[in-house]
Amino acid sequence: MPPFLHIESMSKWYGQVIALNDIDFESDVPILGLLGPNGAGKSSLLKLLVGLSRPSRGKVEVFGLQPWQNHDLLAGLGYTPEHHKLYDRLTPIQFVSLLLQLSGYLSETAYDMAARAIEQLALGEKKDAPIHTLSHGMRQRVKLAQAIAHHPSWLVLDEPLTGMDPLGRNMTIEMVRRMAAEGTRVIVSSHVLHELEALTSDILLLNRGRLLAQGSVAEIRELIDEHPHRILIKSENIRSLGRELAGYDYVKRIEFEPGHLVVETDRPDDFYTMIGELAAGDDFIVHSMISLDDNLEAVFRYLVK
């Protein structure tokens, strides 16, 4: 049985722009998370997987088949693109029915399936409302409804949680996990680690078209924690605070700025514990603490050094 995903020496370029560069990986997990900042190549990779474009070089296979113009493979696909503009003049039920009919379902069957999917995503009251009247979060749910309505064997979700309200987020997460448990293979992309963390423990890390890392969320977190963290601290007496902090071996660097200092540490958990104890005492007044590197951009900068 071929693996769910097999990508071999794959590159994709558009003219002079290299969107993906020499990607190699194989995956057979139920839910695979694709993590990367904006412009990392996540959407480009997903478009290759769903047959919207072809690789410039190398091979892309899904269940051992190449997706490009493979209608049998696409018949089992549920795909939500990143952009949220849909047919504004259609209602959710019309939109989902249309796409089901494009998958070959007869119109009455398509309508019933669409209605069921819309109910499952708590859009029943809005099923006959024009899409342009719906909120961003509801539009995300409409997108998801068209992807899941035909019980696909594989799901590709490009930033599905962006802009969703908390109810929609929980619903999406539960639905994806349930579908994966029932055998649907899922690829979901995001630029926010904790979003993917709620869905899966298997991550691909992309940046600037390159595959940086593949592993579990815990391993990615370790990568994040390994790189030096920079923390901005506002305090009344930054000089004496700085002197105090300099005594700890996990404080690697201290920069003094007017009204605040920036500390660099390679053990952020220990640092936060320590600074909390200092702030609780009488010697130092800490007004605020901001992590300057608690984001993926910093991780990626670190990883590509």
Partner 1 sequence: MNTNQGQARVERLDYQPYDGPLEPLAGRFLVVAGHQLRLSRKDKWFRRLLWFSFFPLGIFAVMVIVQSKVEQIGNHGFNLWSPFWGAQIFSAILITYLCGRSTIGEDLRTGAASVYFARPVTLNGYLGGKWLSVFVPVLFVTLGPALLLISFRFAIEPGAGLLSFLRWLAGFLAASILLSAVMGAVMLAVSSLTRRARTAGFLWIGFIIGMSALANGLAKSFDDPIYTVISFTRASARLLAYLVEGKGSADMAAMDALSHIVWLVIGLGIVRFRIAAGKTRV
In Å, how far from its chain's centre is CA 101? 29
For partner 1, the binding residue among 66, 101, 162, 214 (CB under 8 A) is: 101
- Which of 46/238 has CB closer to partner 1? 46
For partner 1, the binding residue among 6, 23, 62, 103 (CB under 8 A) is: 103
For partner 1, the binding residue among 44, 91, 140, 146 (CB under 8 A) is: 146
Give 171's strand partners.
Answer: none
Asked if 85 is part of the footprint of partner 1 (rule: CB under 8 A), the reply reads yes
Asked if 51 is part of the footprint of partner 1 (rule: CB under 8 A), the reply reads yes
Q: What are phi and psi of 197, to 5 degrees?
A: -60, -35
DSSP class of 305 = -
Q: What are phi and psi of 168, to 5 degrees?
A: -65, -40
d(CA 181, CA 184): 7
d(CA 44, CA 31): 19
- With contact defined as beta carbons under 8 Å apart, do 245 and 251 qualify? yes
Tell me the per-residue interface mask from 150 to 179 with partner 1, x by CB under 8 A, - otherwise.
xx----x-------------x--xxx-xxx
Asked if 257 is part of the footprint of partner 1 (rule: CB under 8 A), the reply reads no
Asked if 69 is part of the footprint of partner 1 (rule: CB under 8 A), the reply reads yes
Size of the site for partner 1 (CB under 8 A): 49
Cβ 138 to partner 1 shortest distance, Å: 16
Crossing angle (nearest 10°) for helices 107-120 and 92-102: 130
DSSP class of 65 = B
In Å, how far from its chain's centre is CA 290? 24
Closest among 28, 72, 20 to 46, alpha carbons compared: 20
- Which of 15/247 has CB closer to partner 1? 15
For partner 1, the binding residue among 11, 21, 27, 53 (CB under 8 A) is: 53
Q: Which residues bind partner 1 (CB under 8 A)?
A: 14, 30-31, 47, 50-53, 69, 71-72, 74-75, 77, 79, 81, 83, 85-90, 98-99, 101-106, 109, 113, 116, 120, 146, 150-151, 156, 170, 173-175, 177-182
